[in-house]
Amino acid sequence: MNDMLNGIPEFVEAVEAGGFSAAAVRMNLSRSAIGKTIARLEKRLNVRLFHRTTRMQSLTDEGQAFYERCRRALDEIQSGEAMLESGKREVTGRLRISMPVLFGRRCAAPLLLELARIHPKLELDLSFSDRVVDLFDEGFDLAIRNGVLRDEAGLAARKIAFNRMMLCASPSYLAAKGTPRTIADLAGHDLIVYARSGEAKKWTFLQQDGSAVEYLPATRLRFDDLEVLADAAVSGMGITWLPCWLVRDYMSAGMLVPALKNISSRAVNIYAVWPQTPQLSLKMRVVIDLLAERLPDVMD
């Protein structure tokens, strides 16, 4: 009876990750360890669960039927653990969280470090990257994402804050080139744009009737680092579009000023995203609730 679950988590992970190698990455094991564990499981069950080739593994009919029952069983076990855990006051366990680099460093990480200080048995593995990670393939428990979410199966999401944006420039630049009054006026200015993978990000503004209008800046200056955009604007290189939390100190010091006063920028939503589960663990719920409660104040 004690051996009934041996190999089941590895088997389910191999199915959901799409192979032994991906499962090994997600479980911090070697591919060989995953393969041997599943081979022992097949021997114990006296059935072949996977068709194996040199390049891939695919489920047999028996393997598919067994997987569906194992998935339901593990969901029930996780729900039971979450129910028991919710009755505890102590937050324990490991969470792998992905977040955008500068936003994570300036806004989210300080809150999470404060939480880790309060709960000494909470383990945080924070990863800072501006690319959209694959939570399943890369083994993340939670990701923080800006903007419109992609349609990804198996993920749950909660809006936890919004990113207010601002067009700004240095006083010296506006004194030399003039202050734009309309979106169309931007075409006559030097613009500094955030770009990722060679693609410039559009600026989004709100019109008086509340509708949104997108503007794709034409520019010779494109960077994939928000701090470099801010530095370039401070040095008088042109107008840029940045989060209010990033330009706050520059504005207070008079190094940057609003560049388009009569038109508001549209706020960008920020989401917590995680693999769907029947019931959130206590550690996940505490982290998501903290971010939803505290991030808006940090970013205002």
Burial category of 83 from C-beta neighbours within 10 Å (exposed 0-12, middle 13-18, buried 19 and up): exposed
Alpha-carbon distances of 237 from 48, 170, 222, rounded to whole Å: 65, 8, 12
What Cα–Cα distance (Å) separates residue 288 from each residue in 141, 161, 283? 11, 11, 9
Domain identity same for 193 and 48: no
Q: Is the pLDDT of residue 82 over 70?
A: no
Q: Same structural domain for residues 171 and 234?
A: yes
pLDDT tens-digit map of 39-50 = 999 999 999 999
Q: What is the pLDDT of residues 259-298, one digit of tens each?
A: 988 888 878 889 999 988 877 888 999 999 999 999 988 8
pLDDT digits 0-9 by tens, 150-180? 777 788 899 999 888 999 999 999 999 999 9
Residue 3 lies in a domain: no
44 and 172, same structural domain? no
Average pLDDT (227-252) is 95
Both 258 and 178 in a single domain?
yes
Residue 84: the pLDDT is 66
Q: Where in the sequence is the domain holding 279, given as residue range(s)?
A: 93-162+269-299
Establish if 119 belongs to a structural domain: yes
- Looking at the fold, whether 277 and 295 belong to one and the same domain comes out as yes
Q: How confident is the model at residue 1 (pLDDT cuts 50, 70, 90)?
A: very low
Is there a single domain that holds both residue 140 and residue 233?
Answer: no
Same domain for 172 and 157, yes or no, is no
| 169 and 258 belong to one structural domain | yes
pLDDT band at 192 (very low <50, low <70, confident <90, very high): very high
Residue 169 shares a structural domain with residue 243: yes
pLDDT of residue 89: 63
Domain check: are 79 and 102 in the same one?
A: no
295 and 203 within one domain: no
Q: Does pTM surpass 0.75?
A: no
Is 163:295 a contact under the CB 8 Å cutoff?
Answer: no
We report the CATH number of the domain holding residue 275 as 3.40.190.10
Number of domains in the chain: 3
Q: Is there a single domain that holds both residue 150 and residue 284?
A: yes
Write out pLDDT tens, residues 19-75.
888 888 888 888 889 989 999 999 999 999 998 776 667 888 888 889 888 888 887
- Residue 124's pLDDT is what? 95
Q: Mean pLDDT over residues 247-262, rounded?
A: 92
Give the angle 104-109-112 at the CA atoms, nearest 5°: 140
